[in-house]
Amino acid sequence: MNRTRTKRSYLLPLLAIFATWLALPIAPARATLVPPPYLGNTPYLSFSDSPASAMSFSYFQLETFESGALAATGVTPSGGFVLGPGPMTDSVDADDGVIDGFGTRGHSWYAGGNRSLSFTFDASILGALPTFAGIVWTDVGFTDVGVFGPAPVLFEAFDSLNNSLGPIGPFGLGDQSVSGTTAEDRFFGVIDATGISRITISMPTSGDWEVDHLQFGLLATSVPEPSTLLLGILGVAALWCARRRPLRN
């Protein structure tokens, strides 16, 4: 018996099984509380809590409103205005330079009586629609029943043809405080490879609420995962073994 041929006859199937195992998708190491392509409904105290902080982009903009205005380019809000520092402002916690449980010394975007806020992206200015977009809900004041929350929040994104990707929620948010507390702050976002034309965040029972940290960007072209590269190497090795297999007598 040719021992070399026998060992190689076992090696090829084992390589194929190992390569298939490596090619299996690996779940990202984050808690996803909403269905794909959505991200979030997660606590947010600083940009490091954003999924975008670990992503690579061809372009990216983070709007904190700390300039006192919406300074980001290529995006238009449907309503609202910037709130400056004050006893009832609820900015993202870290925007005042320290994470201390309060956002009263920062800036936020106030709904101004609107029950829904949309942020629409302009591909002609940006060069291409973003494939990632998100925003942070920070506070609610008066609602239809007079309390300061919790109250329902919905988030929705629209693809490059302005077709809805489906709303998510409602999520009951709010800690019944309007003094700038930040433990209630939640991130909502979306990824869509075709491009995102706009995002919308809504509170059906209130026009007295705030958001912050509008963020959007064009994800960089992905590179092969290490498992994909190794899969290719194993494939070449398998072909080499096959070519080296002795001919039958």
> Which residue, 126, 123, 122, 149, is CA-closest to 138?
149
> What is residue 245's predicted lDDT score, i.e. its pLDDT?
52
Gap between the Cα atoms of 47 and 135, Å rounded: 11
Gap between the Cα atoms of 142 and 208, Å rounded: 6
pLDDT of residue 57 exceeding 80: yes
- 157 touches 169 (CB < 8 A): no
Gap between the Cα atoms of 238 and 246, Å rounded: 14
> Which residue, 134, 87, 142, is CA-closest to 111?
142
Q: How many CB atoms lie within 10 A of CB 249?
A: 4
- What are the pLDDT digits (tens) for 64-113? 999 999 999 999 999 999 999 999 999 999 999 999 999 999 999 999 99
Beta bridge partners of 212: 136
Tokens of 137: 């809900």
pLDDT band (50, 70, 90) for residue 11: very low
Sequence ranges of the domains in the chain: 3-23+225-244, 38-219
Gap between the Cα atoms of 166 and 155, Å rounded: 9
What residue type is 181 in one-letter code?
T
- 49 touches 39 (CB < 8 A): no
pLDDT band (50, 70, 90) for residue 189: very high
- What are the pLDDT digits (tens) for 113-146? 999 999 999 999 999 999 999 999 999 999 999 9
Which residues, 6+ apart, have CB-to-CB distance to 166 below 8 Å?
156
Burial class, 1, CB count within 10 angstroms (exposed 0-12 / middle 13-18 / buried 19+): exposed
Gap between the Cα atoms of 144 and 148, Å rounded: 10
pTM of the model: 0.77
- Has domain 38-219 been given CATH number 2.60.120? yes
Gap between the Cα atoms of 135 and 233, Å rounded: 41
Q: What is the dihedral of CA 24, 29, 34, 39, to 10 degrees?
A: -100
pLDDT of residue 246 exceeding 70: no
Question: Rg of the chain over CA atoms, in angstroms?
Answer: 25
